[in-house]
Structure 1
């Protein structure tokens, strides 16, 4: 190879290489396999993955390089100017076939019963590089299986030690749960302690595994890949809007797998989005229109149910009506709800059902810096958020920034477990978070970075001090130049704000604290989805309620007069707006259960029954053509009463209790991260109250009393009790202050 560049017109950070006679430019320091992939030249591989570090331990990618005496691994050989590579020469092919023979020496020939059959990389490559007859006559080794929890099934005899799963848990998930044990032919991949995987991203080891060693336990033995149809859809359990495929057989959603989108979820998927489809098939799905007569529920026709609903709405129009929507409601449905509320003359319309303090009229807004740029930040300040549970893949991007040298700071009422080290932290009671953002040292740390980001999460947005924290965060961002990224509280909170699902009169808390004569609730599980459960159930219980519902659950039956069954996102065509402000479309995958209908169809029928304008479209295309984003300046709500004495409540969202669908996904409920409801106290507070770890405490709030097991941890700020929402046992507490004592 000449010292002079082969092509002097290339940028200085590129070199010229020749792969199978094709001349191409490749960045200096990149590997042969990366250059070949860019050019569309296939090189077989097992251990290489473009999102993981290079291991070079399978040797399947051996290629012939001019002037090199032995075949070189394409994944670990850097390109050089003028390098000539041949991927299909006799030497390269013989080397690849020899490697394949060694890989199959101990691999069980159980393809007919392997769940990976039909989409197995080893199976595919063995067709081109394997021998028709094995020369190996000795006994194959057997590796005992390990229970990795409710999500990942194991058959470790099939493992080829590519270590992709090991590298994923170490580098991407950051939990270091898998590793190689023993040496040589006795090498085994497994957990070090024999416990289930605890990472919230564990399902991705299934995707990176090139064989059937790690498979989807929920999908196990359900179908073969060639029986499935892929439908483009979205994750709808957080505001990221992860891109995914639903794999469907005869209308049944059997699994979800990631759909590559570098700007959103890269090639990963959180367990919450991957396994929540189980919740579609819960026993209490609403499958037929229902009406309540003399306190008894009966199924009825759509005509009867819509007529009953229309009568309730006619009799309680204008200010007597409140309209409440779940923040995962699609843009199409939200636009129709706003249209219907306008036709009925009510300004009591809101989707911010989980927020206590709307005194500053705050609405969800897109991130000031795209989520993909989190991994490029050099300073990140996390405020009021258990980011790992709230936005698992945004947390993973912050971890990536940390591995590149970023300084991460946290201002929280609880010292949450992150998979990166904190450069600084302020653990303070919820009422003190706003003041903590004024700390000069924290501001100086943010100003030291060129790309600083402040991330505001659910504990900040949903608590009784939210307005003050938002104001302090905005001041912090203005003073330091940091990009302010407020996490939208709901998968489509940004979209619903853009489409006018906001109050011009009473907000969500206002229309529940000052009860209306009737309510229309959309996609809400009343017993668990509201910020103040007690106030919500009281207001709904004494009013007439039309419930557009996915589930005919106990709390919905308790408060509703009419239940109109509607489809969930995997069952409908819909548009959601993610935290970057980008509209993303989902296609219907699963079939609607029973007589359930897409929500926009039911709203169109109800609008027609009421004679409301704007409901004369005939299909979804017509609806979308008529929908235009609208700017609504919501009215400011009342600030919650501060309260005095007792302990402040820090209420974070339980990772697998965040919405009705997730709460019904059996595998997620069995996950180690899904803890039983409990109250966690600072040791000093526990001692002063006479409570010890494992005791049962009574916690009295203005809305009710909760009896909970007590855990004691110095990670909780003094004067604070930490609970997780989404549980019936913690629902009476909400936020604010509680009086605590022994039960």
Structure 2
């Protein structure tokens, strides 16, 4: 090759490459397969994946390179100026066919019963590169399976040792749970210790596996790929809004797979978003309108009767006597119509901030100051009050990527030394009441001031604390002083969108509506016994009032407090838009069939608005609803009361449990069987456990201002002194609202 560039007009960091006679410009250091992919030139592969490190161990991508005596792996051969590559020459094709023959030597002939059949990379490539008759007459090897848990099914005899799954758990998930054991023809992929996968991203090994060795255990033997219809949808269990496809058959969602979007979730999906579809088909799903009679007994009712009963309650309690409480995963369209309904009924008591405890600063969810894709470019990150690995799993993966690729320095201020898959440059494990003080640490500020792209991420522990206003003020001051991009994680999948849609109080906020009970309430998408910041106060207020529940599930707590249950569709069953933590509006398509007589929420709101004779409910379709909501004025909420910290005892660190975040996830059987879904418990620092006279494994009574819970005790030095760590979303922990608790031996 000449020392002079083939094309001197190219930038100095680019070279000219010829692939199958096509002249291409490529960045220096690119691999042949990357250049070919960008040009649309197909090269077969198994081990190569654009998001994973190069392994070059399957050799399926062998190509001919001029002046090289042997075929070269396209995934591991960097391009050079003037290089000529042939992907379809006799030499290249012969090499690829020989590799395919070796790969098929031990592969079982069980395509008819394999869940990967029909979408298998090995099937596709063997059609083009395989022989019609096998020359291998010896017995095929058999590999024993191990149980990887409730989410991933294994058939490791099919494994071709591409190592994609190993590289995923090491590089992306960061848990290093899979590896290769033995050598040569005895090589096996497994966990070595036989334990299930514990990463919150485990389902992605199914996507990267090119054969049927790792498949979806929940979907196993349910359907064939060609029977399924793909519908574009979104994850709605955290504020990232991961893009995904719902795969349904005859209206039943059978599987969820990621939809690539580099700005949001790349090509990955958290297990919570992948497997929560099981919850759509829970036994207590609300499928028919129900009305509670004067005798307190529930009966099914036709829609016109249920709507008339709901309208009668709302007419009787118009104005300040009515409160409207909305789940923060509610869509923008439903939120806008709820705000219109509240205005029409003359009430300013409207709120979606049902997880918050401090309203004194009138804070609402705001878009991140740095987009998710920009966060992985950060050089210093400060985590404040968040177990981000469980709160937003794919944002945690971005942080790991920032550290691995850019050597980002990550600092954490938390009440518990949570397990992250990245190393911390510094940490302060302190009670939440000292978060603001910790942000003033001189060493931390100096580390952040020296950064070019600093980021401060504030999570649920801080946002939902009784003194959240002071913590938020300290975070804003810290960001202004250091130049850090302030990223407050919205507390709900569509909290940003609902704030924009005006689902905010001009009167009483969520806490005030429950502390000063109203005569009637509208509950939208809420499971009353588990979804409120202070369950005790909520149930007391709701039990003494008339309640109209727009509900996805006819659960025990809804039956206990409601007078009318109007069944509505969940996000996978409706067309809607959500706004993610970056402020990006994203749309969904209906993928599942509405169960029974359930209807889309906007239809039910339109019908109820018509029953009440309110203005603005005369549209006939979703497009009309959206048009009528366009340009709605934003609402600035009025400041409310501060949370009550309480005195004495231990400070409660209430952390959202990863698989107990909402009603759908709580009903997904596979997620409830996952090792990360721990039983309800109280975790104490050893010194606090000794002072309380309790030990690990014993049962203790945890007393809060509004209730008492009886919980097993765990002792862990990762918990800050003076803190009781409890995961929310459990019925057993629901009585513990906030503030301080006293722990005594039961």
Q: TM-score, normalised by structure 2?
A: 0.99
Alpha-carbon distance in 2 for matches of 1:351, 1:324: 6
Residue correspondence of structure 1 range 262-661 to structure 2 within 5 A: 262-293=262-293, 294-403=295-404, 404-628=406-630, 629-661=632-664
Using the TM superposition, name which of 135-144 and 619-628 deviates more.
619-628
Out of 658, 662, 667, the position equivalent to 2:665 is: 662
CA distance in 2 between counterparts of 1:732 and 1:738 reads 11
1:683: which partner in 2? 686
Instruction: Give 1:62's aligned residue.
Output: 62
User: 3-state SS of the aligned residue for 2:99?
Assistant: helix
Q: How does 1:118-137 map to 2 (within 5 A)?
A: 118-137=118-137
Equivalent residue of 1:376, what SS? coil
Q: CA deviation at 1:358?
A: 1.3
1:192 to partner: Cα distance: 2.1
Using the TM superposition, give the Cα deviation of residue 463 of structure 1 relative to its aligned residue in structure 2, in angstroms: 1.1
1:334 is displaced (CA, Å) by 0.1
Deviation at 1:631, TM superposition (A): 1.4
Q: Which runs of 4+ in 1 moved over 4 A?
A: none
Cα deviation per residue 1:578-636 (whole Å; 9 max; x = unaligned)?
00001000000000000000000000000000011100110001111111343111011
Matches within 5 A, 1:238-253: 238-253=238-253
Deviations 1:21-54 (A, max 9, x none): 0001011001000000000000000000000000
Query: How far apart, CA to CA, are the structure 1 residues paired with 2:10 and 2:615?
Result: 62
Correspondence 1:709 to 2:712: yes
Shift of 1:734: 2.1
Structure 2, unaligned runs of 5 or more: none
Q: What secondary structure does 2:651 align onto?
A: strand
Asked if 1:221 corresponds to 2:221, the answer is: yes
1:158 lines up with 2:158 in the alignment: yes
Q: Show CA shifts across 1:442-483 (max 9, x none).
A: 111111110000000000001111111100000000000000
Question: Partner residue of 1:103?
Answer: 103
The C-alpha deviation readout for 1:285-317, integer Å capped at 9, x for no partner, is 000000000210000000000000000000000
After TM superposition, list the pairs within 5 Å mapping 1:71-90 onto structure 2: 71-90=71-90
What's the CA shift string for 1:514-545, capped at 9, x where partnerless? 00000000000000000000000000000000
Partner Cα separation in structure 2 for residue 348 and residue 217 of structure 1: 45
- Deviation, structure 1 residue 643: 1.1
Q: Are the counterparts in 1 of residues 645 and 738 from structure 2 also a CA contact under 8 Å? A: no
Q: CA deviation at 1:418?
A: 0.2
Cα distance between partner residues in 2 of 1:711 and 1:426:
22
Tell me, in whole angstroms, the C-alpha distance in 2 between the residues paired with 1:371 and 1:199: 21
Counterparts of 2:369 and 2:377 in 1: how far apart (Å)? Answer: 14
1:536-572 Cα distance to aligned partner (Å, 9 max, x none): 0000000000000000000000000000000000000
> How far apart in 1 are the matches of 2:497 and 2:683?
35
List runs of 5+ in structure 1 lacking aligned partners: none
**Aligned partner of residue 84 in structure 1, secondary structure:** strand
In 1, are the aligned partners of 2:573 and 2:590 still within 8 Å (CA)? yes
Post-superposition shift, 1:641? 2.0
Give how far 1:90 is off. 0.3
Q: CA deviation at 1:374?
A: 1.2
Cα offset, 1:640, TM superposition: 1.7
Q: Is the 8 A contact 2:289 2:565 kept in 1?
A: yes
Residue in 1 that maps onto 2:94: 94
8 Å contact from structure 2 (residues 289, 564) kept in 1: yes
Which secondary structure does the structure 2 equivalent of 1:353 belong to?
Answer: coil
Secondary structure, counterpart of 2:376 in structure 1: helix
Distance 2:370 2:705 in 1: 39
Rounded to whole Å, the distance in 2 between the matches of 1:559 and 1:12 is: 70
Q: How far does the alpha carbon of each residue in 1:102-131 deviate from its partner, in whole angstroms, 9 at most, with x for none?
A: 000000000000000000000000000000
TM-score for the superposition, normalised by structure 1: 1.00
User: Secondary structure of the residue that 2:444 maps to in structure 1?
Assistant: helix
| CA distance in 2 between partners of 1:29 and 1:529 (Å) | 52
- Cα distance in 2 for partners of 1:87, 1:497 equals 54
Distance 1:502 1:400 in 2: 36
CA distance, structure 1, for counterparts of residue 53 and residue 150 of structure 2? 28
Alignment partners' CA distance in 1, 2:20 and 2:610: 66
Q: Alpha-carbon deviation of 1:273?
A: 0.1
Match in the other structure for 1:32: 32
CA positional deviation for 1:697: 0.7
Deviation at 1:430, TM superposition (A): 1.1
Provide the rounded CA distance (Å) in 2 between the counterparts of 1:585 and 1:353: 24
Please give the secondary structure, in 1, of the residue aligned with 2:452: coil
Q: SS at 2:587's partner residue? A: strand
1-structure distance, mates of 2:135, 2:233: 46
Distance in 2 (alpha carbons) for counterparts of 1:97 and 1:626: 61
Give the count of matched residue pairs.
743
Distance 1:344 1:642 in 2: 35
Instruction: Tell me the distance in 2 between the aligned counterparts of 1:589 and 1:70.
Output: 50
**Deviation for aligned residue 1:642:** 2.1
Q: Secondary structure at the match of 1:521?
A: strand
Note the alpha carbon deviations across 1:353-381, whole angstroms, 9 max, x for none. 01111110000000001011111100000
Residue 157 of structure 1: SS of its match in structure 2?
helix
User: 1-side partners of 2:209 and 2:124: how far apart?
Assistant: 14
Query: Structure 2 matches for 1:174-185, cutoff 5 A?
Result: 174-185=174-185
Displacement after TM superposition at 1:740 (Å):
1.2
**Cα offsets for 1:326-346 (capped at 9, x unmatched):** 000000000000000000000
| CA distance in 2: counterparts of 1:730 and 1:630, whole angstroms | 39
Measure, in 1, the Cα distance between the counterparts of 2:373 and 2:714. Answer: 37
Partner SS, residue 389 of structure 1: helix
Distance 1:659 1:272 in 2: 11
Once the two structures are TM-superposed, the CA of residue 434 in structure 1 deviates from its matched residue by 1.0
Whole-Å separation in 1 of the counterparts to 2:628 and 2:189: 56
8 Å contact from structure 2 (residues 248, 255) kept in 1: yes
**For residue 207 of structure 1, what is the aligned residue in structure 2?**
207
Q: Which moved more, 1:171-180 or 1:689-698?
A: 689-698
